[in-house]
Chain A
Amino acid sequence: MNIPADLKYAKSHEWARLADDGLVTVGITDHAQEALGDIVFLELPEVGRKVKAGEECAVVESVKAASDIYAPIAGEVVAVNQAAADAPESVNQDAYAAWLFKLKPDNAADLDKLLDAAAYAKVAAEE
């Protein structure tokens, strides 16, 4: 299972990465893309939307099913990955490169409440 050690994770299978500019990039994990199968559509949030931690803010649809994506932490959506929306299969190809949206966190320390790679590996293995 591909779970990069430098990312933070939500139980609902999103990853989050804090960059030097203070923004948090969010995507779905390799485990999640594998479970969903061939991804064919991404519905991304509006830029400017404020989200709470755990709030539904995007949808990833595979041939098989639609899956809600939750904001891992609270913040404001400041960017979405239009390139991924135009080529949804890129999420299958590399779930950690094909990010979905970027958040300006209300409080960057909220990231500490998320799982580290080892804890997420346990969650994924139990499914």
Chain B
Amino acid sequence: MAKQTPLYATHLRLGGKLVDFAGWDMPLHYGSQVEEHHLVRRDAGMFDVSHMLALDLEGAGAHDLLHKLIANNVDKLTVPGRALYSCMLNPQGGVIDDLIVYFFRPDFYRVVVNAGTADKDLAWIVQHAGDVAVKPRRDLAMIAVQGPNARAKTWAALPGAEAASSALKPFHAAWFGDALIARTGYTGEDGFELMIPAERAEATWDALLAAGVKPAGLGARDTLRLEAGMALYGQDMDEQVSPLEAGLAWTVDLAAPRDFIGKSVLAGRRPDKQTLGLLLEGRGVLRAHQKVFTAQGEGEITSGTFSPTMSRSIALARLPAGVAVGDTVEVEIRDKRLKATVVKPPFVRNGKVLV
């Protein structure tokens, strides 16, 4: 029996096509994945992301715990509400999960982790937590409102939201009564992620709907994040892949003197693989696990799709070191080898094609 978010009945009411995702009944789309994609790029859409898990870390040791557990440096978080994207690594330097950490006080952080990894993440964090209290917040629902008009429509929908969040810069969050409103997302567009008590999820969703925010499913979420060049855990990286190979070197702080789990392995290694973008030259659709042939050897697509914004196929691929942006490579699709150009992700941000 799959788990259901507080918005399960709402998805059914709106005609969502529900599928199993990481053990949760989640909407894939509400009619057309491509239309939902365009809505987010051009106007505003909302996603139920309550399957992800928020964990509150409270106690004097919270800062030191995150210093040890994540590869990015929480010392960058000095303003309350500031958010940071990071990987959490195993001792071999592989990625246990990628997450967002919100800073409130040195003794109080909130970490949001993926649904499919929530149980193992919780166990791993608790194992290292010492006196820090680790509180899973399954009492919260999460709604991501994304798109160029997402902020204005959120403000129109939720009284008081504008006063709480109009001054927020990207990657900052603020309290809004007992809710948290964060200017973050996974689409490459502006917008908010709202964390609200589960019992208010449906009323909040319906208020957003009434303000003209359309529901969007996990299908559009995947094409949007891939256009935005954002990695998906379990596909673009996992416990066998280091963040340096996954295109996530920018999230790893090797410079600061602090130690963190996995650091010694990463610091001593020159990765022989790298993650870059591919643009298919002709027609067809790039998919995960297709082989890529380059002058430097074989690689593999980790995520591929048809880009609704660009009307052509795009992918993230793990390629041998030495392959450069601008190179032409070949991708094996069924019995054919098709040409693709190596590009630097992201493909699309804020409604604009960048490659």
- In the bound complex, CA of A37 to CA of B305 (Å): 13
- In the bound complex, CA of A70 to CA of B32 (Å): 26
**A49 interface contact, C-beta 8 A:** no
Residues of B within 8 A of A (CB): 28-29, 32-34, 219, 223, 283-285, 287, 305-306, 308, 313, 334
Check if A63 sits within 8 Å of B223, measured CB to CB. Answer: yes
Given contacts A37-B219, A63-B305, A63-B306, contact A43 B284 (CB under 8 A): yes
**A78 interface contact, C-beta 8 A:** no
Residues of A within 8 A of B (CB): 37-38, 40-41, 43, 59, 61, 63-64, 66
- In the bound complex, CA of A37 to CA of B35 (Å): 11
- In the bound complex, CA of A64 to CA of B33 (Å): 9
Check if B285 sits within 8 Å of A41, measured CB to CB. Answer: yes
Supply 29 A–B pairs (Cβ within 8 Å), ascending by A: A37-B29, A37-B32, A37-B33, A37-B219, A38-B32, A38-B34, A38-B308, A40-B34, A40-B285, A40-B306, A41-B284, A41-B285, A41-B306, A41-B313, A43-B284, A43-B334, A59-B334, A61-B284, A61-B285, A61-B306, A63-B34, A63-B219, A63-B223, A63-B305, A63-B308, A64-B28, A64-B33, A66-B285, A66-B287
Check if A63 sits within 8 Å of B283, measured CB to CB. Answer: no
Check if A38 sits within 8 Å of B287, measured CB to CB. Answer: no
Q: Which of B32, B219, B306, B334 has the most CB of A within 10 A?
A: B306
Closest residue of chain A to B334 (Cβ to Cβ) is A59
Q: Which residues of A contact B29 (CB under 8 A)?
A: 37
Check if B33 sits within 8 Å of A63, measured CB to CB. Answer: yes
